[in-house]
């Protein structure tokens, strides 16, 4: 940290949804470290250029961001928190541009996927994929593009001086993205956790995974997420990424002891507080 200000690495640039998620978790007194890729955010943390990483892991419409699960395992930085961010997507342009003048729309491919219903109604608009929502807004301002709109959030419109032509163009108004907060092992602070992210493998036999899931159920552990990923270069072998929640610490401890008998390459990716709307976890000592 610099003078107590957290350095937070994000994929994308300022005013992206990743920065909005960082603000929601840490507050706005942060130094944003802009990175071109998710891997670059982990490298920034590894090289001491950042104190934290904020990384999207799933979206309620587009689904899981599968490559990011591999980054979790490969870099082995602990997950210390999470943020659920409502995704509100707006169509924005230079001031004075009319909707009838628009020929092209730019945004991140996941954002575009979340707005397919809107663009089905306007087939004359060419949709172009880019690497970041906020970067599209910035490009419109920098290049003074008068026939192009960006799909981004209100932060981007405000920061880059654009006007919003159409609000809330996302297909599902209850759309949200879940972001994970990661840091180094040295920087991680022990908290009274009630959620964990795990990764493990099971044998390729009938009922192997069911045995693990039954142990969770028997110990009143709620499994809120399960994601499988093939183990690179190994036929019929999978990593299972699981998020679990609990009310009693002793039940969580008991469940872990028992599932160790039925798993291989077991990893605790992080133990942290489940996100609750309006609770700023960094202020609670994390």
- Active-site residue among 41, 133, 148, 177? 177
Compute the chain's Rg from CA coordinates: 21
Q: Six-digit token pair at 53? A: 């990483």
CA distances from 171 to 105, 129, 168, 209 (A): 16, 18, 8, 35
Distance between first and last Cα of the chain? 14
Strands (E) located in 31-162? 31-35, 52-59, 63-64, 79-86, 90-93, 104-107, 126-129, 148-152
In whole angstroms, give the CA distance from residue 40 to residue 42: 5
CA angle (122, 124, 126) in 5-degree steps: 100
The answer to whether the CB of 160 falls within 8 A of the CB of 15 is yes
CA angle (171, 175, 180) in 5-degree steps: 145
Active site residue 17: no
In whole angstroms, give the CA distance from residue 87 to residue 17: 8
DSSP state of 281: G
7-11 and 52-59 beta bridge pairing = parallel
- Active-site residue among 179, 200, 216, 281? 179
Active site residue 179: yes
Q: Which residues are catalytic?
A: 177, 179
């Amino acid at each position: 940290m610099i003078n107590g200000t957290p350095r937070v690495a994000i994929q994308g640039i300022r005013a992206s949804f990743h920065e909005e998620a960082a603000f929601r978790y840490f507050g706005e007194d942060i130094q944003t470290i802009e990175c071109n890729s998710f891997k670059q955010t982990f490298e920034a943390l590894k090289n001491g250029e950042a104190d934290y990483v904020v990384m999207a892991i799933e979206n309620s419409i587009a689904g899981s961001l599968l490559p990011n699960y591999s980054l979790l395992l490969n870099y082995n930085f602990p997950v210390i928190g999470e943020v659920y961010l409502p995704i509100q997507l707006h169509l924005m342009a230079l001031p004075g541009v009319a909707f009838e003048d628009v020929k092209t729309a730019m945004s991140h491919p996941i954002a575009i996927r979340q707005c397919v219903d809107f663009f089905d109604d306007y087939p004359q608009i060419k949709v172009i994929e880019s690497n970041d929502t906020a970067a599209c807004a910035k490009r419109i301002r920098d290049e003074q593009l008068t026939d192009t709109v960006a799909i981004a959030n209100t932060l981007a419109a405000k920061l880059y001086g654009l006007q919003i032509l159409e609000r809330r163009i996302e297909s599902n108004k209850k759309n949200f993205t879940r972001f994970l907060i990661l840091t180094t092992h040295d920087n991680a602070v022990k908290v009274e956790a009630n959620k964990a992210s795990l990764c493990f493998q099971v044998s390729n036999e009938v009922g192997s995974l069911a045995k693990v899931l039954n142990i969770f159920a028997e110990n009143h552990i709620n499994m809120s997420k399960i994601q499988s990923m093939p183990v690179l270069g190994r036929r019929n072998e999978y990593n299972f990424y699981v998020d679990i929640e609990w009310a009693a610490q002793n039940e969580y401890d008991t469940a872990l002891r028992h599932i160790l008998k039925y798993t291989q390459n077991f990893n605790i990716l992080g133990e942290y507080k489940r996100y609750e709307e309006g609770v700023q976890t960094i202020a609670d000592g994390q």
